[in-house]
Chains A and B, each alone.
Chain A
Amino acid sequence: SQQGEEDPQALSIQEGENATMNCSYKTSINNLQWYRQNSGRGLVHLILIRSNEREKHSGRLRVTLDTSKKSSSLLITASRAADTASYFCATDMIKAAGNKLTFGGGTRVLVKP
């Protein structure tokens, strides 16, 4: 079973709107990452947030982490058609050796022009 669960599973918004997606996980983590995937191919790393951080920004991306609730959110502001993709959270669990990642189910985002 997957460590992370994401919601919503799919999101459709207009260009310029903000997109928010959430990720929940089950066990204690070292850090949490968000990746983007276009067309079911390779994943692109977006942002990493450590377990002792609460919020992090990168360009139009804002990530929050609440370790007490074992949840994270990814906000994409002022969305663009090019942001259309699937977004995955991935956790690096404390007891797991070698930083192997456990992925959530992903959120499919469609940004309509």
Chain B
Amino acid sequence: GAGVSQSPSNKVTEKGKDVELRCDPISGHTALYWYRQSLGQGLEFLIYFQGNSAPDKSGLPSDRFSAERTGGSVSTLTIQRTQQEDSAVYLCASSRGTGAKTQYFGPGTRLLVL
């Protein structure tokens, strides 16, 4: 079956603009994760969704970052008033649920803030 897909693949934006990144998880996976990978910080957890439970937002770096997951499937990560330090690869992953340990990653969105 299809894997996790993310769009866009690449995004270049100007400082101060808002961006939306999209993630389509594997069908039937109830858990969805966002991670960020940047040169200085490595791979960092951002936010986690599990079914209809309240998301775990503990990894979001600032209130400019938000995410939602509609209908328990597609998720969008929104970054408002982007800053240059937001430049990174944003990776989405999904898994069958909290009991399933293996996370399946999408190809990522490479964000460059000029």
Residues of A in contact with B (beta carbons under 8 Å apart): 2, 30-31, 33, 35, 40-45, 48, 88, 90, 92, 97-106
- Do residues B45 and A101 form an inter-chain contact, with CB atoms below 8 A? yes
- Do residues B105 and A102 form an inter-chain contact, with CB atoms below 8 A? no
A residues near B44, Cβ cutoff 8 Å = 103
- Do residues B33 and A31 form an inter-chain contact, with CB atoms below 8 A? no
- Do residues B98 and A98 form an inter-chain contact, with CB atoms below 8 A? yes
A residues near B59, Cβ cutoff 8 Å = 100
- Do residues B105 and A43 form an inter-chain contact, with CB atoms below 8 A? yes
A residues near B31, Cβ cutoff 8 Å = 98-99
- Do residues A42 and B108 form an inter-chain contact, with CB atoms below 8 A? yes
B residues near A40, Cβ cutoff 8 Å = 37, 89, 108, 110
B residues near A90, Cβ cutoff 8 Å = 43
Given A41-B108, A99-B95, A99-B100, 14 extra CB contacts under 8 A: A31-B101, A42-B91, A43-B91, A43-B105, A45-B104, A45-B105, A90-B43, A97-B48, A99-B103, A100-B59, A101-B35, A101-B45, A103-B43, A103-B44
